[in-house]
Structure 1
Amino acid sequence: MATATPTRSRLREYFHTEYQPGERKLVQKIDFFILTFCCLSYFTNYLDRSNLSNAYVSGMKEDLGFVGNQLNEINTCFTVGYVIGQIPANLSLHYIKPRYFFPACMLIWAGLTMVTASVHKPQSIMAIRFFQGIVEATTFVGTHYILGSWYTERELGKRSGIFTASGLAGTMIGGFIQTGIHDSLDGRSGLSGWRWLFIIDGIITLPIALYGFLFFPDTPSTTGAFYLSESERALAVSRVPPVEDKSPISWTFLKKCLTSWFFWGFVILWIIAGETESFSTNSLLALYMKSHPTIKYSVSQLNNYPTGIPAVGIVSTIFWATLTDFLNGKRYLVGYFIAITGIATSAMVLAASKDPTNPTSTSVVFAAYYWAGTVYACQATFFAWANDTLRYEEHMFRAVVLAGMNLGSNAVNAWWSIIFYGASMAPWFTRGMWAMIAVSILLVIWTAALSYTTSRHEKKRKAELEQSYGTSDRKSVTNYA
């Protein structure tokens, strides 16, 4: 009889996980209640963010008299608020239950989104987006903190990927929503289509906030969810390492954060990796189309064609999140793939700019920006990498590292996007293309260094666990590690 190959054996093991009694049912419950709320929350969050660019190319620019790089300045105002809110938002989860904190933030940003429909000048949007950035700060990093609190290392990548993909779905669907609103509501009750877009975005968010308030389960040690039995709550706690959860408001805690290689290693990783997403996050394809040297695109085309980028991002995110789970958490592999993508797509756009009126040039640029959408995979995998590495650290230290990653990336992006990807630099963004090549090379170097360091830490951790549990009880070590 033929024996199964090692690859087939690993696939069978991966898709047929052995659970403790009752554990499969527990995972199914937390999958449903955590992922539905977090994904819907992130979906509306990104729907709002992406629709600013959709509104810009759908009449807002002309209605409000935008000039120069004011669109980038609005994004910078949002980013400044987002940076300010990162660490305080995640620290707040130590004192305020997530099922109260998350929905409250959602209600505030829904109100601010709807208020955007009433503005008459770009400066008003700058003020609104600043405060939106503060209240939206907890959505991404707060969710990754929650996912790391509930899921084992083998489960985490896929869930992180599904969550990240939901935000990309918001970006993708936003273009189609704007097209539909522009076609059906433009001029209704005297409001432009782009104004209706912000009103509808805000309304969509409200029932999701209510759902979170009623059903979100908090963390394993604090959950009071009515749909979890006492035995399931105890099982949820036993699935993750027992870590002492101290108050984060102390000089000792601050010193630990600022002197830890964990903190700086992952913060710098995400600063670099975050800038490899610049082509997509700055809506460069839409701006390229808006300023195309020979082709005049319609409003529908300006909104619909760029939706292919987040669609590619969704596929790439889920693929790499699942693959790195299967490869026992080798999240660093994504860094090398993203670096290759950044260098290649930048080179394609630079080459196309040499002959801008050639139809082939347009095809090459579209192909480059669609391919560049694959770099979104780094969001799920790199935050899962940090969660994996910090699994045995204090919960709030892990929360601060995750928040610090996003803080660092957005602090750099606040000025990076203006210097390298200003709207006035369309359609070619030559300076930004060279910047992308530089950060891609730097990403290879930093990923290699960090993967070496975390690998050494992982071996040391497993040795300590074996000594703690005893060499005869290797199964307990495997369950946690």
Structure 2
Amino acid sequence: MGTAQRFREYLSPGSAHQPGEAKLVRKLDFFILTFCCLMYFTNYLDRSNLANAYVSGMKEELHFVGNQYNLINTVFTVGYIIGQIPSNLALYHITPRIYFPTMMVIWGALTMITAAAKRPGDIMAIRFFQGLAESSTFVGTHYILGSWYTGAELGKRSGIFTSSGLAGTMFGGFLQTAIHSSLNGAKGLSGWRWLFIIDGLITLPIALYGFILFPDTPSTTHAFYLSSEERALAISRVPEVPERRPWNFGFLKRILTSWYWYGFVILWIIAGETESFSSNSLLSLYLKSIGGYSVSQLNNYPTGVPAVGIVSTLFWATLTDFMGGKRYLVGYWIALTGIINSAMILAPGSSVAVHMGAYYWAGSVYACQATFFAWANDAMRYEEDSLRAVVIGSMNAGSNAVNAWWSLLFYSANFAPKFTKGMWAMIAMCILLAIWTTGLIWMVDRTEKKRLTEQEVVAAEKPELVTAGVGEEKV
């Protein structure tokens, strides 16, 4: 089979081409991906607007001093950390169709309330609870995607989902520019206050869409647009896994003795800090600190960073799917990117153009979000759902737990424009990422070989189980 034909088959819905599968996948893409992408778009829109507001007059109007901006981000991160694992476990007790939209309504309302802030402390309190609500989206969606899609389909969908969040970041800059030029001073409110109001309002109709049309999971869905045959097909497309275990000490021991938990949580802690240039809005802070840029320029120039992230995310998600799930390749790309970018910024006498080029290129590191969570879903495809849910939730919680103090230590706003300590920290984390990725490749391969060996033993001893489909992968 030629490469062109393989690529065309990869782009077509349905990896195994069972009868009715292409139609089913099209429905899943429409109802799951559209809602999850719009949800993540508003999630990042509501989250990234703080940086847009900060450089658009909020700093001066609310009298920010020192690293108060970073402290607000840290408070948000603390709420975000606390909510990660409980949010994923909540999906067992509250249907996703209810849980996700409810969280959207809460964070949309909190976003609008931010417009009434009188001092930095007000925003700190609001952002803590906003972090709790927004923690449901990223890890929850990756859990849902892993529940519906096969390994051959997962990377592309994870990439599309992650890109929607980056689009929210990019759109936020343009939105603030438009609001500042048209609404600044309207009804006695500054442009940055209108940004929070409008961002919150955008969230609400998307939440209503989720209440009505989100399909939950294959085993619990009651979506009216899926026939009984399609529900059965959806269940058959993913491997049978052990029933999830009770929430007791034995389950906790199972998690803490599993290499999946340590391997992927530490992977994402390291990888999460390689996103620091973009996640801490360093280009915005850099331009603000050197001066000479208008409000429109301060909001528009940084939008190139998530734009690069979108292209990189879709490229690597598609490529690793097409290459049979080699998600680990992104780890080496990120390591190389972070080291070179840091060297560009640290270089004596480097120009503004060089610095901006480095920050734009750093946006490509966002590709790790889709690929590494897809890698975790792939690796745990034969484990019980409860373990997969906790590992995915722990990955993001662990990363944000480190980021809560990491950004203050290395990327505080008052370290601009050079962020010298942050550059050296980036180089160290990128070297560590390359080493950890190599070790994780070995563990995944070792576990897969062990599973296949056990499957062969079962086939030899009890061939009737294989005939019935036990132990076979369903794709």
CA distance in 2, matches of 1:243, 1:445: 31
Alignment of 1:103-142 (within 5 A): 103-142=101-140
1:468 Cα deviation from its structure 2 partner = 4.4
Contact 2:35 2:210 in 1 (8 A): yes
Contact 1:55 1:194 in 2 (8 A): yes
CA distance in 2, matches of 1:46, 1:119: 20
Structure 1 stretch 92-101 or stretch 245-254: which is displaced more?
245-254
Query: Which one of 175, 180, 183 corresponds to residue 181 of structure 2?
Result: 183
- The one-letter amino acid of 1:80's match is V
Aligned to 1:164: 162
- The one-letter amino acid of 2:295's match is V
1:458 Cα deviation from its structure 2 partner = 1.7
Aligned to 2:303: 307
- The one-letter amino acid of 1:480's match is K
Contact 2:104 2:204 in 1 (8 A): yes
CA distance in 1, matches of 2:365, 2:453: 35
CA distance in 2, matches of 1:79, 1:270: 15
Quickly say closer, same or farther: Cα 1:478–1:251, change in 2 above 3 A: closer
1:91-120 residue CA offsets vs partner (Å, 9 max, x unmatched)? 111111000111111111111111000010
Contact 1:83 1:137 in 2 (8 A): yes
- The one-letter amino acid of 2:171's match is I
Aligned to 1:350: 346
1:253-276 residue CA offsets vs partner (Å, 9 max, x unmatched)? 111111111001000000000000
1:405-432 residue CA offsets vs partner (Å, 9 max, x unmatched)? 0010000000000000000000010000
* Number of matched pairs: 469
Aligned to 1:283: 281
Query: Which one of 462, 466, 480 corresponds to residue 452 of structure 2?
Result: 462
CA distance in 2, matches of 1:449, 1:407: 22
Aligned to 1:249: 247
TM-score normalised according to structure 2 size: 0.96
1:202 Cα deviation from its structure 2 partner = 0.7
Aligned to 1:213: 211
1:318 Cα deviation from its structure 2 partner = 0.4
1:459 Cα deviation from its structure 2 partner = 2.1
Aligned to 2:22: 24
1:397 aligns with 2:387: yes
1:267-305 residue CA offsets vs partner (Å, 9 max, x unmatched)? 00000000000000000000000011xx51000000000
- The one-letter amino acid of 1:282's match is N
- The one-letter amino acid of 1:345's match is N
1:420 aligns with 2:410: yes
1:301-322 residue CA offsets vs partner (Å, 9 max, x unmatched)? 0000000000000000000000
Aligned to 1:234: 232
1:322 aligns with 2:318: yes
CA distance in 2, matches of 1:62, 1:255: 51
- The one-letter amino acid of 1:206's match is L
Query: Which one of 408, 412, 434 corresponds to residue 444 of structure 1?
Result: 434
Residue identity over aligned pairs, in percent, reads 69
Contact 2:236 2:474 in 1 (8 A): no
1:478 Cα deviation from its structure 2 partner = 7.2
Quickly say closer, same or farther: Cα 1:381–1:248, change in 2 above 3 A: farther
1:183-220 residue CA offsets vs partner (Å, 9 max, x unmatched)? 00000000000000000011000011110010000000
Aligned to 1:377: 367
Aligned to 1:363: 353
CA distance in 2, matches of 1:418, 1:300: 27
CA distance in 2, matches of 1:463, 1:33: 38
CA distance in 1, matches of 2:267, 2:195: 35
1:480 aligns with 2:455: no
Query: Which one of 35, 57, 60 corresponds to residue 58 of structure 2?
Result: 60
- The one-letter amino acid of 1:307's match is T
Quickly say closer, same or farther: Cα 1:81–1:248, change in 2 above 3 A: farther
CA distance in 2, matches of 1:253, 1:198: 42
- The one-letter amino acid of 2:169's match is T
Contact 1:248 1:396 in 2 (8 A): no
1:323 Cα deviation from its structure 2 partner = 0.4
1:336 aligns with 2:326: no
SS of 1:291 mapped into structure 2: helix
Contact 1:178 1:303 in 2 (8 A): yes
Quickly say closer, same or farther: Cα 1:166–1:476, change in 2 above 3 A: farther
Aligned to 1:76: 74
Contact 1:91 1:248 in 2 (8 A): no
1:48 aligns with 2:53: no
CA distance in 1, matches of 2:427, 2:274: 9
CA distance in 2, matches of 1:460, 1:318: 32
1:367-418 residue CA offsets vs partner (Å, 9 max, x unmatched)? 0000000000000000000000111111111010000000100000000000
1:247 Cα deviation from its structure 2 partner = 4.8
Aligned to 1:93: 91
CA distance in 2, matches of 1:229, 1:297: 57
Contact 2:239 2:473 in 1 (8 A): no
TM-score normalised according to structure 1 size: 0.95
Query: Which one of 397, 405, 409 corresponds to residue 407 of structure 1?
Result: 397
Contact 1:469 1:476 in 2 (8 A): no
- The one-letter amino acid of 2:320's match is T
1:10 Cα deviation from its structure 2 partner = 4.0
RMSD of aligned residue pairs (Cα, Å): 1.7
SS of 1:241 mapped into structure 2: coil
1:447-476 residue CA offsets vs partner (Å, 9 max, x unmatched)? 000011101112222333455467887999
Structure 1 stretch 389-398 or stretch 267-276: which is displaced more?
389-398
Q: Which runs of 5+ in 2 are unaligned?
A: none
Quickly say closer, same or farther: Cα 1:12–1:27, change in 2 above 3 A: closer
CA distance in 2, matches of 1:172, 1:376: 13
